[in-house]
Amino acid sequence: AEQGVDSGEYSRALMKEAHRHLEEQLSTSSGTGASTLGALTSAYLKCTMLGSSTACLASLHRDQLETLNLGDSGFLLLRPLLRLPPMKEPGAFQIIHRTTEQAHRFNMPFQLGAHSNDLPEHGDRATFTVEVGDLLIMGTDGLWDNVFEEDILSVLAEFSPAHDPGKAASKLAVAAHRAGLANRATPFSVRAEELGMNFKGGKLDDVTVVVARVDA
C-alpha cells in the first residue's frame, strides 16, 4: 500500500478468475471434473497487475477432491471419528491429509505474481476420495502461523455436522487473529526458535478461513 499497490487486489483477482474457470469446466465437462491446475494457470496468465499471492484451490466432483496448494496457505482434510446415525452431535475428527508449506526459505513462501519465478505447476497437487461428513479447512498463513492443529481440532469438535460450516470458519479466524496479537507460543514462533531466531508470540497477518463439508 505504501508503494501505491493494493496488496489484496492481485489475490482477489487471481481467485476470481480461477473460480470462474472451474465453474466453466464443471458446467461443460462430461463427467471428468475440473482441473485445479488448469484453473490456476488460466488465472495466472490473465492477472497482469502488480502484486503477488499464494494459492490454495480445491474442486469436488462426485467423491473425488482435487487440490492444488502453492506457498504457505494450505488445508486440512478431516474425517469424523464417530459415524453413528444421525451424525448430529459434535465430535472429534481425524486428520486425513495436511498440506506442507512451500517456501524458498523461512517466511519466504512460493508466490505467483510480479518479481516471482514461481509458476502454478510448482504447486503441490493431490486427489482424495472423500466421504459424507468430511471437512475441508482451507486457510491463509494467518491461520496456520498462529493456531496449532490441536486447537483447530478442538474448535471443530464443538460443531456438529448439522451446523453451518461458516460459523466454524468465523471462530477459527477469530482465534487466529487473537493468537496473532498474543504473547504465547504459536506455530510460527516455534519454527522461528528452531532456526535460532528470537521470536515470541503470534504473527499478525491477514486471515482467510474457509470450512467446507462434504454432503450427500
DSSP for 107-171, written as a single string: TEE--EETT----GGGSEEEEEE--TT-EEEEE-HHHHTTS-HHHHHHHHTTS-TTS-HHHHHHH
Give the pLDDT confidence score for residue 83 in this predicted structure. 56
Give the pLDDT confidence score for residue 23 in this predicted structure. 92
Q: What is the C-alpha separation between 98 and 168, in angstroms, rounded?
A: 18
The mean pLDDT value for 60-76 works out to 97
Give the pLDDT confidence score for residue 30 in this predicted structure. 64
Give the pLDDT confidence score for residue 116 in this predicted structure. 95
Averaging pLDDT over each range in 9-23, 88-102, 146-160, which range is the top one? 9-23
Give the pLDDT confidence score for residue 158 in this predicted structure. 83
Which tens digit of pLDDT belongs to each residue from 20-52?
999 998 888 666 678 999 999 999 999 999 999
Give the pLDDT confidence score for residue 3 in this predicted structure. 61
Please state the pTM of the whole predicted model. 0.90
Q: Which three cell numbers stand for residue 88?
A: 448430529
Query: Are 149 and 76 within 8 A, CB to CB?
Result: yes
Q: What is the C-alpha separation between 142 and 162, in angstroms, rounded?
A: 27
**192 DSSP assignment:** H
